[in-house]
A and B are shown apart, each in its own frame.
Chain A
Amino acid sequence: MEFRPDLIIPELYQLLLIGALFIQGIADRPWMPRVGKWLSWCAGVGILISAGSLDLNGLIFVGSYRVDTLSQFFKFAVSFGFAVAVLNATRQPTLEKEKHCEYFMFMALSAWGLMILSSCVELISIYLALELASFSLFPLVPLRSGEKGAAEAAVKYVFFGAAATAIGLFGFSLILASQHTTYLIDFMQKPWAWSEAPMAVAGLTLFLCGMLFKLALFPFHFWAPDVYEGASNETVAYISTMPKLGAVVVLIRLSMLLKPGLEITTILALLAAVSITYGNLAALIQTDVKRLLGYSTIAHAGYVMVGLTAGTTEGVAAAAFYSFIYVIMNFACFWVICRIATDGRNLKLDDLNGLYKRAPGLALVLAVGAMALVGLPPTAGFMGKLFLLTAAWNHSYNWLVVIAAANIAISIYYYLNLVRHAYTKEAPESTPTAVPYPFFSLLWGGLLAALLILFGILPGLVFKALPPSL
Chain B
Amino acid sequence: MEGLDLPVLSILIFFPAAACVGLFFMRSAQVVRVFTFAVFALEFIFAFPLLRFRLNTPGFQFVERIPWVEGWGLEYYLGIDGIGILMLGLTLFIFPLCVLCSWSAIATRVKEFHFCLLFLCSACVGLFSALDLLLFYLFWEATLIPVYLIIAVWGGSERQYASLKFIVYTLAGSALLLVGIIAFRIEGGTFSIPELMGRDYPFGFQIWTFLVMALAFAVKVPMFPFHTWLPDAYAEAPTAGSVVLAAVLAKMGVYGFLRLSLPLAPLASQYLAPMMIAFSIASVLYGGLMALGQSNIKKIIAYSSVSHMGFVTLGIFLFSMRGFQGALFQMVSHGITTGALFMLAGALYERSRSYEVRENSGLGKYLPAFMGFWGFMAFAGFAFPGTNNFVGEFLVLVGAFESNIWIGALVVPGAVLAAAYMLRPTQKMAWGEPCNVMEWKDLNVREWAYLLPLAFIVLYIGLAPTLFFKVMNPTLNNLLEMFKP
Contact = CB atoms under 8 A, between A and B. Distances in A.
A406 B141 CA distance: 14
Given A376-B142, A378-B138, A416-B167, A405 B175 contact: yes
5 contacts: A390-B185, A402-B179, A413-B164, A423-B153, A463-B69
Interface string B385-411: 000000000000000000000000000
Contacts of A459: 69
A341 interface: no
Contact of B72 (A390, A401, A408): A390
Nearest to A408: B175
A424 B141 contact: no
Interface in B136-170: 137-139, 141-142, 144-145, 148-149, 152-153, 159-160, 163-164, 167-168
A377 B142 contact: yes
Nearest to A416: B167
Contacts of B109: 356
Contacts of A367: 145
B176 interface: yes
A407 B70 CA distance: 28
A409 B182 contact: no
Given A413-B164, A423-B153, A377 B138 contact: yes
B171 interface: yes
Given A409-B175, A424-B160, A382 B141 contact: yes
B249 to A, nearest CB: 16
Contacts of B68: 460
Nearest to B174: A409
B179 A420 contact: no
Contacts of B148: 416
Contact of A390 (B70, B112, B149, B186): B186
A454 to B, nearest CB: 13
A393 B209 CA distance: 14
A459 B67 CA distance: 12
B179 A409 contact: no
A460 to B, nearest CB: 5
B168 A412 contact: yes
Given A377-B138, A390-B186, A463-B71, A424 B168 contact: no
B134 interface: yes
B152 A423 contact: yes
A151 interface: no
A386 interface: yes
Interface in B337-391: none
A394 interface: yes
Main SS of chain A's interface residues? helix
A406 B176 contact: yes
B232 to A, nearest CB: 16
B133 to A, nearest CB: 11
B29 interface: no
Given A408-B171, A409-B171, A377 B141 contact: yes
Contacts of A394: 186
A394 B187 CA distance: 9
Given A389-B182, A416-B148, A405 B164 contact: no
A402 B176 contact: yes
A198 interface: no
A260 interface: no
B183 interface: yes
Residue in B70, B171, B176 with the greatest tally of chain A CB atoms within 10 Å: B171
A409 B176 CA distance: 9
A401 B68 CA distance: 24
A468 interface: yes
Interface string A415-430: 0100010011000000
Please list the 5 inter-chain residue pairs (A to B) with the smallest Cβ-Cβ separation, ordered nearest first. Answer: A409-B172, A377-B138, A409-B175, A424-B152, A408-B175
Interface string B114-149: 000000000000000000001001110110110011
Size category, A interface: 20 to 34
Interface of B: 68-72, 109, 112, 134, 137-139, 141-142, 144-145, 148-149, 152-153, 159-160, 163-164, 167-168, 171-172, 175-176, 178-179, 182-183, 185-186
A130 interface: no
Interface string A379-401: 00011011101100110000001
Interface of A: 314, 356, 367, 371, 376-378, 382-383, 385-387, 389-390, 393-394, 401-402, 405-409, 412-413, 416, 420, 423-424, 459-460, 463, 468
B64 to A, nearest CB: 16
Most buried by A among B112, B179, B183, B186: B179
A405 B182 CA distance: 11
Nearest to A459: B69
A386 B178 contact: yes
A389 B178 contact: yes
Nearest to B172: A409
Nearest to B179: A405
A144 to B, nearest CB: 34
B175 A406 contact: yes
A77 B160 CA distance: 39
Contacts of B72: 314, 387, 390
B15 to A, nearest CB: 16
A105 to B, nearest CB: 40
Nearest to A374: B171
A412 B142 contact: no
Nearest to A387: B72
Could you say which of B148, B172, B182, B183 has the most chain A C-beta atoms within 10 Å of its C-beta? B182
Contacts of B144: 376
A386 B167 CA distance: 20
Nearest to B137: A377
Contacts of A402: 176, 179
A390 B152 CA distance: 33
A376 to B, nearest CB: 5
Contacts of B186: 390, 393-394
Nearest to A401: B179
Contacts of A463: 69-71
Contacts of B183: 393
Given A401-B179, A408-B171, A409-B172, A378 B164 contact: no
A407 B172 CA distance: 9
Nearest to A406: B175
A260 B43 CA distance: 51
Given A356-B112, A376-B144, A382-B138, 8 more contacts: A376-B145, A377-B139, A377-B141, A393-B179, A402-B176, A402-B179, A408-B171, A423-B152
Contacts of A413: 164, 168
A242 B479 CA distance: 52
Contacts of A314: 72
Contacts of B172: 406, 409
Contacts of B70: 460, 463
Contacts of A460: 68-70
Given A377-B141, A386-B134, A423 B182 contact: no
Contact of A393 (B159, B168, B182): B182
Nearest to A407: B175
Given A377-B141, A416-B164, A424-B153, A405 B176 contact: yes
Nearest to B169: A409
Nearest to B173: A409
A401 B164 contact: no
Contacts of A409: 168, 171-172, 175
A13 B142 CA distance: 42
